[in-house]
Amino acid sequence: MNFEFDAQTDQMCATIADFARNRLAGPDAFEPDGFRRRWRLVGEQGALGTVVPSAYGGLGQGAVTAAAIMEALGYGCMDTGFVFSLGAHVFACLTPIVEFGTEEQKQRWLPLLCSGKRIAAHCITEPEAGSDALSMRTRAERRGDAYVLNGDKSFTTNSPVADVFIVQTATRPGGGCFGLTSFVVEAGTPGLTVGKRYEKVGLDGSPTADVHFDDCTVPASQMLGPEGGGFGVFRTSMAWERTCLFALYLGTMRRVLETSIAYANERQQFGTAIGGFQAVSHRIVDMAVRLETARLMLYRAAWGLDRGSTDEVAPALAKLAVSEAAVQAGLDAVQIQGGLGVLHGQAETALRDALPARIFSGTNEIQKNNIARALGLGGRSPRSRA
């Protein structure tokens, strides 16, 4: 076992964290032009192409390095919502194209998506199909050399600014895992419309909205993977997202831990720094323990991805551990700062930005169901964790 990054990765992460700290600060209110400007800056740094082969404009790195870069972005950038959008773009959109795209699709989209000149969104969730992805109602009907898409998608990250959409549809309703098919759909395609941007409790810097398809005609050449192969695309994107995207919260937690230590050493009560009070110091120690535990679980899952593991438990465990630790870190930071913690600032922002982590990429309850099933609970045989 080796728990250290190589020197090149360490230097890359330090550079990315410094860049994020100095160049990616977000405005108080979402502004599309500013969002795209910062997005292009990230592309110029190479951070959007971490897992994309160099032949298509990427860095050709694996999951461990990709997670390390996300952690550095989360540590350096105060706009966690913006970093979340970057992660959704890379792991829910680029990785499926890398894994399942035709050569023509890769040549057309990957260089643009790596460079930051284009932004991608992955349309999965629907009003009646969130955790139950196999019940999605968005249909794709074959008509000659094209498919006609009809349906509604909700909670679609990046959709208000997206140039291209990865769209999950049902080509054979009731067909289970073999009834779903994925498409690459360009923004501006007739019949594709994006709704009003959501106002959310957290991750304000990540633009999110509904996406509607009304007789949206897509050439068969834009199908991603084979017909009926959409569930494989979905599983691949979720494995990468539940592992590498969540590394951004490791960076956020590290930053919150450092500011909590600094505050506890500076804040005086009863003639001494509050960091000397056991109730405060133990809370901070617990923050450190949860961070290190979650970090080990996430990088173990990333290590498995790099080795071609099909284990679905490790990403589920990582997502569960990191999201719960991030929420608790926000609560602890607020408590340590007392009255200041409930004012607008880093502590309350960290808490609000962490709350959605329990929901997206499959709720934590769903992760526990998946883990329980793999353990053989409910009368099922335990699954091998290859």
Does one domain contain both 67 and 108?
yes
Let me know: does 286 contact 313? Beta carbons within 8 Å. Answer: no
Q: Residue 292 catalytic?
A: no
Within a domain: 21 = yes
Q: Which domain holds residue 176?
A: 122-232
The whole-number average pLDDT for the span 199-221 is: 97
Within a domain: 27 = yes
Domain's final residue, options 87, 119, 151: 119
Q: Is 14 helix (H, G, I), strand (E, B) or coil?
A: helix
Does one domain contain both 261 and 200?
no
Within a domain: 82 = yes
Facing residues of 211 across strands?
A: 153, 194
Quote the number of domains for the chain. 3
CA 354 and chain centroid, separation: 12
Within a domain: 201 = yes
pLDDT at 229: 95
Does one domain contain both 74 and 22?
yes
The token duo for 253 is 């937690």
Residue 360: CATH number of its domain: 1.20.140.10
Residue 53: CATH number of its domain: 1.10.540.10
Question: Is 9 exposed, middle or buried, given 0-12, 13-18 or 19+ CB atoms closer than 10 A?
Answer: middle
Residues 6+ apart with CB under 8 A from 312: 235, 239, 370, 374
**Distance of alpha carbon 226 from alpha carbon 161, whole angstroms:** 28
pLDDT in tens, 166-179: 999 999 888 888 89
pLDDT at 383: 66
Does one domain contain both 256 and 369?
yes
Does one domain contain both 269 and 362?
yes
The whole-number average pLDDT for the span 205-228 is: 97
pLDDT bucket at 381, cuts 50 / 70 / 90: low
The whole-number average pLDDT for the span 345-349 is: 93
pLDDT in tens, 10-64: 999 999 999 999 999 888 788 999 999 999 999 999 999 999 999 999 999 999 9
Domain's final residue, options 103, 119, 135: 119
pLDDT bucket at 334, cuts 50 / 70 / 90: very high
Q: What is the pTM of this model?
A: 0.95
The whole-number average pLDDT for the span 82-89 is: 98
Domain's final residue, options 119, 150, 171: 119
User: Which of 329, 250, 203 has its CA nearest to residue 17?
Assistant: 250
Within a domain: 103 = yes
Catalytic one among 241, 266, 292, 324? 241
The runs of H, that is alpha helices, within 133-277 are 230-240, 247-266
Residues 6+ apart with CB under 8 A from 139: 149, 150, 151, 169, 170, 171, 173
Within a domain: 239 = no
**C-alpha separations of 116 from 48, 61, 112, 198 in Å:** 7, 18, 6, 23
pLDDT bucket at 386, cuts 50 / 70 / 90: low
pLDDT in tens, 110-160: 999 999 999 999 999 999 887 777 789 999 999 999 999 999 999 999 999
344 pLDDT higher than 90: no
Does one domain contain both 352 and 264?
yes
Does one domain contain both 114 and 19?
yes
**C-alpha separations of 106 from 40, 174, 187, 244 in Å:** 20, 31, 17, 21
The whole-number average pLDDT for the span 306-334 is: 95
Computed over every residue of the chain, the mean pLDDT equals 94
The token duo for 300 is 């173990």
**C-alpha separations of 42 from 25, 82, 107, 139 in Å:** 12, 11, 21, 35
Within a domain: 284 = yes
Let me know: does 181 contact 123? Beta carbons within 8 Å. Answer: no
User: Which of 189, 185, 155 has its CA nearest to residue 168?
Assistant: 185
Does one domain contain both 87 and 178?
no
Q: Which residue bears the tokens 């340590």?
A: 336
pLDDT bucket at 192, cuts 50 / 70 / 90: very high
Residue 170: CATH number of its domain: 2.40.110.10
pLDDT in tens, 358-367: 999 999 999 9
pLDDT bucket at 2, cuts 50 / 70 / 90: confident
**Distance of alpha carbon 287 from alpha carbon 275, whole angstroms:** 14
Does one domain contain both 346 and 294?
yes
pLDDT in tens, 229-269: 999 999 999 999 999 999 999 999 999 999 999 999 999 99
Within a domain: 14 = yes
Let me know: does 91 contact 217? Beta carbons within 8 Å. Answer: no
Does one domain contain both 138 and 227?
yes
Question: Is 371 exposed, middle or buried, given 0-12, 13-18 or 19+ CB atoms closer than 10 A?
Answer: middle
Does one domain contain both 283 and 219?
no
Does one domain contain both 99 and 193?
no
